Structure 1
Amino acid sequence: MNAKAAHILVVDDEPDIRRLVHEILEDEGYEVSTAENAGQARQLKNEKKPDLILLDIWMPDTDGITLLKEWIAEGGFASPVVMMSGHGSVESAVEATRLGAYDYLEKPLSLAKLLLIVERALESRQLQTELPVPKAYQTLDFEPVGKSATVARIKEQLKRLAQHDTRVLFVGDAGVGKELYARYLHNHSVRRDWPFVDVAVGSLSPENSVIEFFGKEENGKVIPGLLEQAHGGTLFLSEIAGMDKESQLRLLSALESRSFLRSGGVKSVSVDVRIVTSTRVSLEEEVKAGRFRRDLYYLLNEITMEIPPLREHSEDVPALLGFYVDHFMNQEKLPFRKFSMAAQNYLRNYSWPGNVRELKNLVQRLMILGVGDDMELDEVKGALGAVVEQTSGSSLVPEFYNLPLKEAREHFEKAYLEYHFEKSGGSVAKLASIIGMERTHLYRKLHALNIKL
């Protein structure tokens, strides 16, 4: 679920708790309503139809568990409920989850746990709402940009591969566009009207990855995993080398049998899904080092597609620059700017260590932070890290200075994180160290800003 579209109702009789949770969730991009008692909660639930409810167990008029029972008895109530209590009562937690609450939070609230549970609860609501109803998935127009012989050759090969269910392993440096080519493969296949599920394997924590992939059954509820979400379509596992050992073993079994067991389940689940993977490291070396299963490697690597770095088809750079200028004008409503001929010539001869991702992020930074219609050579060199003498006393300010604080901060944070992500070579661990942020919080921030891993 898109965080900006999700509405959360916070029900708690303590004003400080309501204010704190309201500020935290609103800062993350959610819409938030608050209620101090059961009466207000009933009214706001009916008026706002929230996507998620955070419900205090102990309240002066009607306690949270009684209110939860009341809502369940009404029927047709799809919003997940997360219970909150400062009393740490295990019995209350068990009772709430037995009745159907999604999870339980103990006060004083942990910020990291609160945001993680909110995100997971909203995801589970979306899956339970959408998954049981078969529907056609819109095929988005993902067309690799460029007219070079390199791009034309890859597109032609992928069109041929799309007619078969062969498992494809995309290999190439960070940022070359492996996900884009995987989508292109999917969109030219017979599975195009079914989902394309994109998973950054390295972003899944080892303790939760099995549930993420295979889902779970708990208290009579089913939470589908990634394999079920991709049923009928394509599951793209980017940077597959980061998969933990237990998930490797279970994925191997699922591929061989075309079925699996959910965590906590007893009945085999069958799926029809095409697995496509990518890696920027040598899987052969990972196999030799004992970090990746040899049998899984052979299953996934039926066909290898090598995506070359941008420096090997630099004639596509001008077309890519124009494409991303149009993209950020249309998608993020950034003001139009164009690259001067000198800047374009310089960028054609630049080595592009971060490949297409670096080019995309460069265009975005220049459109957000720059001023004037033209992106000149000195400005481009400065954005790439070259030492450029700055004009002193200029009254010009970046465009995002004219935005409200919250939007301006989002623009800055995205540009800042993408810049350091490139410098860290696409490593989240290095990025976390560079910017001084705990990795769990960083994953959530990258996801919220739609920064691809």
Structure 2
Amino acid sequence: MSKQEPYILVVDDEQDIRQLVSEILEDEGYQVAMAENATVARALKQECQPCLILLDIWMPDSDGITLLKEWVAEDDALCPVIMMSGHASVESAVEATRLGAYDFLEKPLSLAKLLLTVERALEASHLQQENAGLKQQLMLGVEPIGKSAVVERAKDQIKRLAQHDARVLFVGEAGVGKEMYARYLHNNSARRDGPFVDVSVGSIAPENSAVEFFGREDGGGKIYRGLLEQAHGGTLFLGEISGMDQETQARLLSALESSSFLRVGGSESVRVDVRVLSSTRMSLEEEVSSGRFRQDLYYLLNVVTLEIQPLREHSEDVPGLLNYYVDHFVAQEKLPFRKFSMAAQNYLRNYSWPGNVRELKNLVQRLMILGAGDDIELDEVKDALGSFAEEPVLTGVVPEFFNLPLKEAREHFEKSYLEYHFEKNGGSVAKLAAAIGMERTHLYRKLHALKIKL
């Protein structure tokens, strides 16, 4: 995707002003849509999803203040709005600012002031989005950690894929970092300034999928924007895509083929420009053969397959990962600094890591929270790993949570129990529910409560 100039919506009932303002903005390289009244403005706002709106106060069907109030109520992420009027009172200007208008311009318009205000509004909006994106990146990591040939090869492949807009399917075991690699692709692509929206598909209950993905409109005109709209101009990452229900699969297929869809309860088509990346730990070919996943959607999402190797295939990266996550938890959670002894590092390099990088991260966090002293020694590491073994009593290791109060110990057991069966059933919530004999709605709540990443 080539980077496009911002879209600006000009709303004014006077044709001469509309035309003049539009021509000036187009000369500056902006894309412009024009609306002569509130009705047309509502439709164009949904269709074009502008980065900025120039809104006149006095219009024949509805005044600009009322329209601004309506948009603020229905859209939590409303773009900057600059009000314009030649007959407005001070009260109107104050009311518009109170509602959230970026600025107020008096007619006749000063063209120099108009361009300056537009430029500043777009810069402020971009900075706000950039800050939100930076916060998200700090939490998830900017790029994969490791200097092994395995990691370097994967990063090189992703940088080449980032230059194109093809859909990519990331495959690999649970915990290998498929989401992080997808974010790395986004950050190296032409969409890097757009949003990166990630969703764990299995965490969405089937009855809520349509609204979550495609949004909703109610009778009062209030709009909830779904994941596809939230990712407009950027990337939507669908984690563990095999967990998607059949109805949503069909709607997503249609939306991706046409780059448009209807919100639930809506009657007007919404167009979006989104790159979709997805991941799976299961064999989607088997899911297609069994009829649980649509073959046409599989081919649509799987333009390029990128396999992310398990940690045991690049164990030379383990010491670097241990140091990285120690620094991460010191900086992000203010935990006391501790370092792994050489013996502990050597032992962990030869550990099989069934939970991959996610297991390593959790181990570091657990040792930093529960341990004491500057050094993390081998015995402490063995005890921590042993507490999550399948048969802790037979190995002679007493689980750490045995020493906790009953409520906390129960939470630790339930989390370990559910994570074990979740992995055993290939990351499928439906199979997990059947295996442990728990109704799916209650299971979703339990997984969320225990913060189990789906």
SS in 2 for 1:130: coil
The 3 A distance-change label for structure 1 pair 203 and 362 is: same
- The aligned amino acid for 1:378 is D
The 3 A distance-change label for structure 1 pair 251 and 430 is: closer
* RMSD between superposed Cα atoms in Å: 3.3
Look up the match of 1:244: 245
Look up the match of 2:297: 296
- The aligned amino acid for 1:301 is N
The 3 A distance-change label for structure 1 pair 253 and 77 is: closer
SS in 1 for 2:277: strand
SS in 1 for 2:76: helix
How far apart are residue 369 of structure 1 and its match? 1.4
- The aligned amino acid for 1:351 is S
Look up the match of 2:227: 226
- The aligned amino acid for 2:316 is E
- The aligned amino acid for 1:367 is M
How far apart are residue 389 of structure 1 and its match? 7.1
Look up the match of 2:217: 217
The 3 A distance-change label for structure 1 pair 330 and 314 is: same
CA shift digits 1:221-255 (9 cap, x unpaired): 11111100000010000000110001000101011
How far apart are residue 450 of structure 1 and its match? 5.8
Look up the match of 1:97: none
8 Å Cα contact 1:200-1:239 kept in structure 2: yes
Residue 143 in structure 1 maps to residue 140 in structure 2: no
Q: Distance in 1 between matches of 2:230 and 2:161?
A: 23
Q: Distance in 2 between matches of 1:273 and 1:150?
A: 29
Q: Distance in 2 between matches of 1:156 and 1:360?
A: 24
Look up the match of 2:119: none
CA shift digits 1:196-235 (9 cap, x unpaired): 1110000111111011100111021111111000000100
Give runs of aligned pairs for residues 338-353 of structure 1, distance below 5 A: 338-353=339-354
TM-score (ref. length: structure 1): 0.63
SS in 2 for 1:320: helix
The 3 A distance-change label for structure 1 pair 390 and 258 is: closer
Q: Distance in 2 between matches of 1:159 and 1:415?
A: 40
SS in 2 for 1:384: helix
The 3 A distance-change label for structure 1 pair 446 and 167 is: same
The 3 A distance-change label for structure 1 pair 433 and 317 is: farther
8 Å Cα contact 2:172-2:281 kept in structure 1: yes
Q: Distance in 1 between matches of 2:331 and 2:228?
A: 33
The 3 A distance-change label for structure 1 pair 184 and 414 is: farther
CA shift digits 1:297-320 (9 cap, x unpaired): 000000000001100000000001
The 3 A distance-change label for structure 1 pair 76 and 244 is: same
Look up the match of 1:163: 163
- The aligned amino acid for 1:348 is R
SS in 2 for 1:316: helix
8 Å Cα contact 1:361-1:418 kept in structure 2: no
CA shift digits 1:87-117 (9 cap, x unpaired): xxxxxxxxxxxxxxxxxxxxxxxxxxxxxxx
SS in 1 for 2:174: coil
The 3 A distance-change label for structure 1 pair 199 and 383 is: same
Q: Distance in 2 between matches of 1:228 and 1:292?
A: 24
How far apart are residue 128 of structure 1 and its match? 2.4
8 Å Cα contact 2:383-2:397 kept in structure 1: no
CA shift digits 1:66-107 (9 cap, x unpaired): xxxxxxx9x96999xxxxxxxxxxxxxxxxxxxxxxxxxxxx
The 3 A distance-change label for structure 1 pair 319 and 435 is: farther
CA shift digits 1:337-390 (9 cap, x unpaired): 111111110100000111111111111111111122221111111111166878
| Identity over aligned pairs, percent | 69
Give runs of aligned pairs for residues 50-449 of structure 1, distance below 5 A: 128-132=75-79, 135=126, 136-137=129-130, 138-139=133-134, 140=137, 142-219=142-219, 220-385=221-386, 419-420=416-417, 422-424=419-421, 425=423, 440=441, 443=444, 447=448
SS in 1 for 2:360: helix
The 3 A distance-change label for structure 1 pair 379 and 264 is: same
Tell me the number of residue pairs that the alignment of Structure 1 and Structure 2 aligns.
Answer: 321
Q: Distance in 2 between matches of 1:293 and 1:339?
A: 47
- The aligned amino acid for 1:130 is A
CA shift digits 1:366-425 (9 cap, x unpaired): 11111222211111111111668789xxxxx99xx9xxx9xxx99x89976764454332
CA shift digits 1:409-453 (9 cap, x unpaired): 99x899767644543325657888999997656645755776532
Look up the match of 2:115: none
Greater Cα offset, 136-145 or 229-238? 136-145
Q: Distance in 2 between matches of 1:437 and 1:290?
A: 24
SS in 2 for 1:231: coil
- The aligned amino acid for 2:199 is V
- The aligned amino acid for 1:183 is R
Q: Distance in 2 between matches of 1:234 and 1:283?
A: 22
SS in 1 for 2:75: helix
TM-score (ref. length: structure 2): 0.63
